[in-house]
Structures are given as structure tokens and as C-alpha cells.
Structure 1
Amino acid sequence: MTRGNQRELARQKNQKKQAEQNKGKKMEGNSFQKQKETFRTSGAYDRWYEGRRLWAAVTVSIRNSTRNIWIMMKAPNDVKREIINLLLAYAFAIKHHCRNERGINYDDLNALLPPNFRLQYNSNETAANNLPLALAQEMQLRLLQYQADGALESTTFGLLNGTISSLVENLTAFERIGTTPIPLAYNIHLKQVITLYCLALPPQLAGNVGWWVVPVTSIAVFVFFGTDSIATEIENPFGYDANDL
């Protein structure tokens, strides 16, 4: 083998090695970008899923309490319906509270709140800032009165009182989701990184795919920005959109 052939083989080997190194760098860059986007999406979905799980817990608590009140409480049906309506109103109150909607003048609450509670609520500025807590306090006071009147046994009272505490815990978890958004700086930085990545993608692909770089880049832009838009949509699960809770 002549020296010219040896030099040519060495040059081809170096080119192949350089191409493999460049390919590895591209794959690392793609992997890093995917990891950031996955973290963004999974974080937003975790918030949405936790909100859905909390709604299920509230539903279970209200259903169990309704059954226990109706079966175990020794009182007229009208009295039972009144406390059950307060439980149902609590669920609607959570919805309005998470949406930062104050007051009690809503169609889903009008038929559930008793008149005496309306008067107390309108005269209490502290309660007006948190309707679910005001309802929890009202329910507990009524249960204490029912127990004192002999309409509610101590065991049943303890069970229902524990349910109210559980509902308040769920409310606090809802507030944590609503008042702890994904940091704005992180969202801005991620959008900047996606934009820079999509702008830098065509020069990397042009030498390998030719004119196919246009549709390939378009697909990449659609995937990355679409995923980011999905995360933005579901990170706050308490809005008015079809995807919200």
C-alpha cells in the first residue's frame, strides 16, 4: 500500500470519527431538550392530576357524610336535607374559591345555602374571604347542636367531624396548587431555549436531509411548541376551559 493510499485511509477514518462525534453531540443536545420539555409537561400534568385526585376525595367525603347523616341522624328529613345541602354547597364553594370568585350570589349556591347562613356570611368580612371555611364552621356548629339535642350520637359526630377536617385539608391542598404556579422565569427560559433550538436545527440537518429540512423542522417546531402549549393549558386546573376541573 502506497503512502498516498495510507494518507487517504487515515483522512477517511478521521472524517468518520468526526462525524460520529458530531452525531453524538447532536443526540446529547436533543436528549437535553427532551428532558427539559418532559419536566415541564410532567410538572404541569402532576398539578392537574393532583387537582383531579383531590376532587375525587371531596366527592367521596361528601357521599359518605350524606349517607351517614341520612341513616344515623335522628332528626326530621328537612333538618337532614339542610346539613346535606351545606355539604353540597361546600363543593361548589371550593370551585368558586379556586377561581378567585368571591361572594355567594351564584346559581349553584342559591338553592343550597339557608337564609340564616346568608345573613351571617354577609355580616362577616373574614368569612367573606373564604366561603368554604365559613361553611365548614357552620357545619361543625350544627353538628355540635345536633349532638347536644340528642339527634346525633357521639360516634357519628366524631365520624362526621373527621370528614369536615378532611374536607378542610383538601381545600388547603387546592389552595396550594392555585397559589403556587410554575415559576415564570422557568417558563420564559424554556420558551427561549425551544426557540433557539428550533432556529439552530435547520443548519444541523441541511447537510444530511437536504430540502427535507423544511418539513422536518416544521414537525419539530410543532411538537415542541405544541407540548409547551399543552403544559400551559393544564398547569392551572381551576379555570373555565373544557380541560379544567
Structure 2
Amino acid sequence: MVRKEAQWLQTALRIKGSVISAIYQQVILFGIFGVLISILYHFKVPVSQPILGSVIPSIVLGLLLVFRTNTAYERFWEGRKSWGSMVNAIRNLARQIWVSIDEKEPEDKSRKIDALNLLVAFGVSTKLHLRGEPISSDLEELISQSKYIKLKNMNNPPLEVAFWISDYLEQQYNRNCINSYQLASLQSLLNLLVDNLGACERILKTPMPLAYAIHLKQLLLLYCFLLPFQIVQSLGWWTGFISALVSFTLLGIEAIGLEIENPFGYDENDLPLDAICTNIKLNIDDLTTLTPSVHK
């Protein structure tokens, strides 16, 4: 019980991964403004205007923030589901390639390993593509030098990798190493990989509508600046602190939406794409240590 409470407190006080660094300047600004209103009220300046509380009903702002956060989380969760589906498709595709494709020549096993490495390369190139990064040395050990050079000049590297995998499957079908049913099953899994790539690209290239983002920020700004005028009469010198606390709450919710709406980067709250790709590589390496009974 004590351990759980300690973990809860440790999480609550954690700075890394929170949105504090993104909003602390605005929070301090609204707190200072609240203190300024308290000083003016102390010197009998008529700054107390409780009626301003009806300018922007709290429930309206709350609903807008909830919608903003839910929309962002939906994008985050869709990205996670797409990568989860991609990992499963790669595993199934790798398993079927390793078990189903006949080895008629001594070189066939090494060709299958190359094909499995292409599956890893698909995951890595998708990660780089979504992050807008150039082809890196992570791919150099997975594909031949000629493919690596060619991939550097492609606008959509994962599609090129998918083409190479499809080409390999067609070659094995033409060599009678797999039948038409097996080919259709393998191509279906490959199509699923490309579908998940498209789903991630849709998340990446469909930002929150600009007008909505601007309007929400304007309402937040207006609400936080009007708040001290509403509460100074009842709170007095506490106005600055409460203004900072309320702005911390509202701005934090909005910042969380901004943080998670693009889940493919390097932030603490983004998807662990590096770890996912490493796990794919380990799964493929483990698979290649196994020998299917049909090939013994």
C-alpha cells in the first residue's frame, strides 16, 4: 500500500513527460495578472466585475476542451492500433514465409532471410517516413547496398520495400515454391501492411482544423484574463494563485491534446516506435533460428 502511494506521488510530481514545460510561462503570466488585479482592488480601484463570469460559460469551454482532448487521443489510439496491426502482420507474414516457401536450392534459405529482413526494413522505413527523417544506417544492415542507395532517393521508402517483398513472393510462386492459395494469403498480409502505413499517414497529414485551434486558444486567453475580475472580490490576495491554478488546469488540458495528436515523434508521450522496431527485429531473429519440420 505504501509502495503504491509512493508511486502515485512520484508520478504526480514528475516533470518529464508532463506539459508543465509547455505552459508554465502562460501560467505565470496569468498569475501575475491576478496579483495585479488584487493590488488594484486593494487600492479601491473598481476592478471587481463578477458579471464577467457569464461572458464565457465554464461548461462551454469545458466541452470544447474535452472534445479537443478526445479528438487528439483518438488519433493517438488509432496510431497505436495501426502499429499493433502492422507488427502482427509482419509476424504472420514472416512465419508463413519461413515455413511455407519450399527451399529447392541451397541459396533459398538465405533469400528467405533477406525477405524477412525486408519485413523489418518495412517497419524501420515506416518509422523514419512518419518522422520525416532520411533513410538512416538502421536500414543498411537489413538490405543490400544497391537497395539501400535506391531507397534514399524514394519519396515513400516503405512502399518500395513492400514492392520488393511482393516481387520476392511472385518469384517464389513462379518457381513453384508456393501455390496460388499461399501467394494470395501472403499478399493479403502485405496489403494489410500497406493499409496500416496509409492509416498512419492519414493521422500525420490531417491536422486539427486551424480555425478550431485558433478559436479555442482565443477562448482560453479571454477566460483566463477575465477570471481575476470575477473572483477578486471574494478571494482578495488569493486571486493571483487561484488564477494561476485555473489557467494551469485549462491550458494543461489543451497542451495534452497538442502533445498526443501526432504520436510518431520523440516526445515522452509519443509511441515508442524505436522499441517497437527493435522488437520486430528480435522476433525475426528468433524465427530464423527455428527449422521447420518440412525442411528437415
Category of TM-score, reference length = shorter chain: 0.7 to 0.9
Between the aligned partners of 1:74 and 1:177, the Cα distance in structure 2 is 39
| Cα displacement (A) at 1:51 | 0.7
The alpha-carbon distance between structure 1 residues 152 and 185, as it changes in their structure 2 partners (threshold 3 A), is: same
Are positions 1:65 and 2:97 aligned together? no
Between the aligned partners of 2:149 and 2:257, the Cα distance in structure 1 is 42
Summarize deviations over 1:121-144 as a string: whole Å, max 9, x none: 46xx5xx11101111111111100
The alpha-carbon distance between structure 1 residues 27 and 156, as it changes in their structure 2 partners (threshold 3 A), is: farther
Between the aligned partners of 1:160 and 1:108, the Cα distance in structure 2 is 26
The alpha-carbon distance between structure 1 residues 28 and 145, as it changes in their structure 2 partners (threshold 3 A), is: same
Between the aligned partners of 1:189 and 1:33, the Cα distance in structure 2 is 11
Alignment of 1:16-55 (within 5 A): 26=54, 29-55=57-83
Between the aligned partners of 1:182 and 1:63, the Cα distance in structure 2 is 33
Q: Which moved more, 1:199-208 or 1:35-44?
A: 199-208
Give the 3-state SS of the residue equivalent to 1:101 in structure 2. Answer: coil
Equivalent in the alignment of 1:110 = 140
Equivalent in the alignment of 1:95 = 127
| Cα displacement (A) at 1:213 | 2.7
Note if contact 2:139-2:148 (Cα within 8 Å) is conserved in structure 1. no
Are positions 1:166 and 2:192 aligned together? yes
Between the aligned partners of 2:262 and 2:164, the Cα distance in structure 1 is 30
Give the 3-state SS of the residue equivalent to 2:57 in structure 1. Answer: helix
| Cα displacement (A) at 1:204 | 1.5
Between the aligned partners of 1:100 and 1:211, the Cα distance in structure 2 is 49
Equivalent in the alignment of 2:283 = none
Which consecutive unaligned segments of at least 5 residues does structure 1 have?
1-21
Between the aligned partners of 2:267 and 2:245, the Cα distance in structure 1 is 27
Question: Which of residues 176, 181, 188 in structure 1 aligns to 2:202?
Answer: 176
Give the 3-state SS of the residue equivalent to 1:160 in structure 2. Answer: helix
Alignment of 1:131-210 (within 5 A): 131-210=157-236
Q: Please give the TM-score of this superposition, normalised by the length of structure 1.
A: 0.81
Question: Which of residues 233, 241, 247 in structure 2 aligns to 1:221?
Answer: 247
Higher helix residue share: 1
Note if contact 2:56-2:223 (Cα within 8 Å) is conserved in structure 1. no
Are positions 1:79 and 2:105 aligned together? no
Q: Percent identity?
A: 37
Which consecutive unaligned segments of at least 5 residues does structure 2 have?
1-50, 272-296
Summarize deviations over 1:172-218 as a string: whole Å, max 9, x none: 11111111111233222211210110111122122333433332222
Q: Which moved more, 1:110-119 or 1:144-153?
A: 110-119
| Cα displacement (A) at 1:95 | 0.7
RMSD across aligned positions (CA): 2.1
Summarize deviations over 1:63-98 as a string: whole Å, max 9, x none: 111111111111232121111111110011111111
Select the structure with the greater relative contact order (CA < 8 A; seq sep ≥ 6).
2
Point out the structure with max Rg over C-alpha. 1
Between the aligned partners of 1:242 and 1:210, the Cα distance in structure 2 is 39
Between the aligned partners of 1:121 and 1:213, the Cα distance in structure 2 is 59
Between the aligned partners of 1:242 and 1:201, the Cα distance in structure 2 is 32
